[in-house]
Amino acid sequence: MEERNRILKQVQNSRSPKVVLWWFFLVAACLKVLLFPSYRSTDFEVHRNWLALTHSLPLSQWYFDETSPWTLDYPPFFAYFERFLSFFANLVDQQIVHLQEGLNYSSNTVIYFQRATVILSDLCLLFGVYRMTKNLDSRRQMLICLLVIWSPMLFIVDHMHFQYNGFLIGILLISLSYLEEGRDVLGGLVFAALLCFKHLFLVAAPVYFVYLLRHYCRGGMLKGISRLLFLGAVVIAVIAAAFGPFIYLGQIHQVIHRMFPFGRGLCHAYWAPNFWVFYIILDKGLAFMLRKLGFKIPIPTASLTGGLVGDASPFSVLPQVTPLLTLTMVVLALSPCLIKAWKKPQQHMISRWIAYAYTCGFLFGWHVHEKASLHFVIPLAFVAVQTLNDARHYFLLSIVSCYSLFPLLFEAQEYPIKVLLLLLHSILMWLGFSAQFSDDNDTETSRTPAEKRVCLIGSTGKCYLAGLVVVEIWGQFLHPLFLGDKLPFLPLMLISIYCAFGIMYSWIWQLQSIVKSP
């Protein structure tokens, strides 16, 4: 039996990493094609409009066009990416790239084309996973493929709701892979390019800066300064390639204004499960009680949320939250990680630090989208295969984060799909982590299979996940039965509040693991 197990492990370790990756990618692609007819959000029309305006208008008008309410608000590299895709869209169906007649265009042609571009752009994610796992054993590599390439969060957000997160996170993984290899300049260059694709990844910039300053710009004052200047020149060159044409045209102020529309409000339309959920609930609770006691509490003059730009002053009792305050809180939350990176910049810790940075941005940032949880859940998948405690943390976090995305798919026909995606992924995670860490901890061949099992979740975690089921049953079945059309916001609010406890737990756990790391 021992000889058989040894041979099986040799066979597993001999599998080509590329073959394993392609197998996972092709299976995922087949499922994504089946999801073509599913629900799509306004983001679908947003990206179709960006195809049209980058194809139909000169570059000088891209950030001024208001033909559609969904104006271009991503950095220039993403606009160039849309321009590249528009050439093929024009060949497939010219109406896709027609600025006026293409508004809200929803033929099968445009649906199939745009869905296909997301699948093809996921090749960037595939390459990122390959670079991050090429030196791992086959079992860990397959487990990471299961967690990342088969992520139900990516299925829901990119291939149903519609976005290009897999493509962008793939760029982030490529950057992290270079840093873990000690190729700091390439890692910094790729991250600078990522920021020119989507500026919301900027939250991790302080970690990159401190790490590169201490890890790359070392070796004496003269050598350190010369390396800092070289690294700065590389980053400036990337930024110049993206923003240079708009600086030349004198439009950089307009581009920045589009990229950072702070008037959109503290929260997104569906409250992301972060710290500000508790702040909002506390303000509303205090206002309610004070009004009952006879105090004249003003009604908020603006909404907490907004998809379009507008002024927001939504709180009745507690102090108003400003973008500067949220920035301060993010930096303060990041400071233990920055101190750790300054004192001892370690290559094997960089993925953990970057994931923590995006968790801080998600919890305390301004106008955070619920979809931004992908920015820390995906990098943490590479951390999860390192130790059993990391796996336990990831198992709970990934379930909570995926469940928090359920409100994105609110139509009845998508309900069984999102539930099955989460259940299937949870089962596969359980089996994968159990197989991985039962073998890692198996030092006694005489132990029975029951004795070799690992405990992935304790009693507290089980109770918390049971609570998720209760919240879902209330929102889907009991609320319509008992309250009908009354308090329609309540099910979404409960999901945000309950999931916020899980994300806060993850932040505290990550903070402790970083502080306690040697």
Over residues 386-404, the mean pLDDT reads 96
DSSP-based three-state secondary structure for 453:
coil
Rounded Cα distance between 130 and 170, Å, is 10
State the pLDDT confidence band at 11, using cuts at 50, 70 and 90. very low
Residue 319 in this model has a pLDDT that exceeds 80: yes
Bridge partner list, 305 = 267
How big is the CA angle at 71 (ends 249 and 271), to the nearest 5 degrees?
A: 130
Q: Would you say residue 352 lies in a domain?
A: yes
99's tokens: 């600025």
Residue 7 in this model has a pLDDT that exceeds 70: no
Residue 352 in this model has a pLDDT that exceeds 80: yes
Over residues 121-142, the mean pLDDT reads 94
Count of CA atoms in the C-beta half-sphere (13 A) of 250: 0
Minimal CA–CA distance to 280: which of 104, 431, 492?
A: 492
Distance of CA 410 to the CA centre of its chain: 20
Residues in the chain, total? 518
Q: Would you say residue 42 lies in a domain?
A: yes
What is the per-residue DSSP string for 156-168? HIIIIII--HHHH
The pLDDT of residue 485: 86
Rounded Cα distance between 491 and 112, Å, is 33
pTM of this structure? 0.92
465 is in which domain, residue-wise?
13-249+325-441+448-516
Q: Would you say residue 83 lies in a domain?
A: yes
Q: Would you say residue 69 lies in a domain?
A: yes
What is the per-residue DSSP string for 360-424? HHHHH-SSB-GGGGHHHHHHHHHHHTT-HHHHHHHHHHHHHHHHHTGGG--SGGGHHHHHHHHHH
27's tokens: 């299976």
Question: Which CA distances in Å does 138 have to 17, 173, 259, 408?
Answer: 7, 19, 41, 35
Higher pLDDT, 442 or 393: 393
Residue 231 in this model has a pLDDT that exceeds 50: yes
Rounded Cα distance between 497 and 276, Å, is 10
Over residues 372-401, the mean pLDDT reads 96
486's tokens: 């009354």
Percent of the chain clearing pLDDT 90 (strictly above): 75
Helical residues (DSSP H) of 93-220, grouped into ranges: 108-121, 123-133, 138-148, 152-156, 165-180, 184-197, 205-215
Q: How many CB atoms lie within 10 A of CB 389?
A: 12
Q: Would you say residue 266 lies in a domain?
A: no
8 A C-beta contact, residue 364 and residue 326: yes
Minimal CA–CA distance to 21: which of 122, 171, 167, 153?
A: 122
Rounded Cα distance between 319 and 313, Å, is 10
Residue 268 in this model has a pLDDT that exceeds 50: yes
Higher pLDDT, 261 or 184: 184
**Per residue in 75-96, pLDDT tens?**
999 999 999 999 999 999 999 9
State the pLDDT confidence band at 442, using cuts at 50, 70 and 90. low
The pLDDT of residue 218: 86
Higher pLDDT, 39 or 300: 39
Burial 200-225 (b: 16+ CB within 10 A, else e): bbbbbebbbebbbbebbbeeeeeeee
State the pLDDT confidence band at 304, using cuts at 50, 70 and 90. low
The pLDDT of residue 517: 82
Q: In degrees to the nearest 10, what's the CA dihedral of 77, 78, 83, 84?
A: 80
96's tokens: 């896709």
Q: Would you say residue 96 lies in a domain?
A: yes
The pLDDT of residue 453: 66
Higher pLDDT, 439 or 110: 110
8 A C-beta contact, residue 42 and residue 49: no
8 A C-beta contact, residue 355 and residue 510: yes
Q: Would you say residue 265 lies in a domain?
A: no
Sequence-distant (6+) residues with CB within 8 A of 84 are none
- What mean pLDDT, rounded, does the chain reach? 90
The pLDDT of residue 296: 83
Question: Which CA distances in Å does 454 have to 282, 386, 388, 424?
Answer: 40, 15, 8, 20
Over residues 11-18, the mean pLDDT reads 58
The pLDDT of residue 17: 73
Bridge partner list, 47 = none
Return the CA Rg of the chain: 24
Mean pLDDT lowest for which of 71-75, 238-242, 329-333, 365-369? 365-369
The pLDDT of residue 311: 41
Residue 247 in this model has a pLDDT that exceeds 90: yes
Domain count, the chain: 1
Q: Would you say residue 401 lies in a domain?
A: yes
Minimal CA–CA distance to 161: which of 406, 420, 399, 416?
A: 406
The pLDDT of residue 18: 82
Minimal CA–CA distance to 414: which of 156, 112, 163?
A: 156
The pLDDT of residue 142: 94
Bridge partner list, 368 = 267
Mean pLDDT lowest for which of 307-316, 330-339, 459-468? 307-316
Long-range contacts of 503-509 (CB under 8 A, 24+ apart): 503/273, 503/274, 503/359, 503/362, 503/363, 503/373, 503/397, 503/400, 503/401, 503/404, 504/275, 504/363, 505/396, 506/359, 506/393, 506/396, 506/397, 506/400, 507/333, 507/356, 507/359, 507/360, 507/363, 509/393
